[in-house]
């Protein structure tokens, strides 16, 4: 199986462009909060994980900033 992918120098994920790295973190965090409510921080975390797994480092950094900006309001003790 390894031989199948040896022809790809950096893999498919390395060619994936960033989508969010130029967006405003404050605007997007407000939009995420309005769409996902108390689960906004979880949604931002999943976006960061998706960007990281796709090799979009700029988007990963963007979504981690959104995650940090959302704060700890969503954390609820069970």
- Do residues 13 and 54 lie in contact, with contact meaning Cβ atoms separated by under 8 Å? yes
- Do residues 63 and 42 lie in contact, with contact meaning Cβ atoms separated by under 8 Å? no
- Could you read off the pLDDT tens digit of each residue along the chain, which spans 78 residues? 445 445 544 444 455 677 877 788 989 999 999 999 989 999 999 999 999 998 889 999 999 999 999 986 555 554
SS3 for 71? Answer: coil
Integer Cα distance of 39 and 57 in angstroms: 23
Q: Check residue 67 and give its pLDDT.
A: 94
Q: Check residue 76 and give its pLDDT.
A: 52
Single out the residue of 17, 16, 14, 23 nearest to residue 44, CA to CA: 23
Q: Check residue 21 and give its pLDDT.
A: 74
Q: Check residue 31 and give its pLDDT.
A: 93
């Amino acid at each position: 199986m390894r031989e199948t992918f040896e022809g790809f120098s950096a893999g498919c994920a390395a060619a994936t462009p960033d989508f969010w790295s130029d967006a405003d973190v404050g605007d997007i965090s407000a939009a995420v909060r309005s769409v996902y409510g108390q689960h906004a921080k979880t949604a931002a975390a999943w976006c960061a994980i998706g960007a990281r797994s796709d090799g979009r480092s700029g988007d990963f950094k963007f979504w981690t900033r959104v995650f940090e900006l959302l704060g700890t309001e969503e954390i609820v003790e069970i």
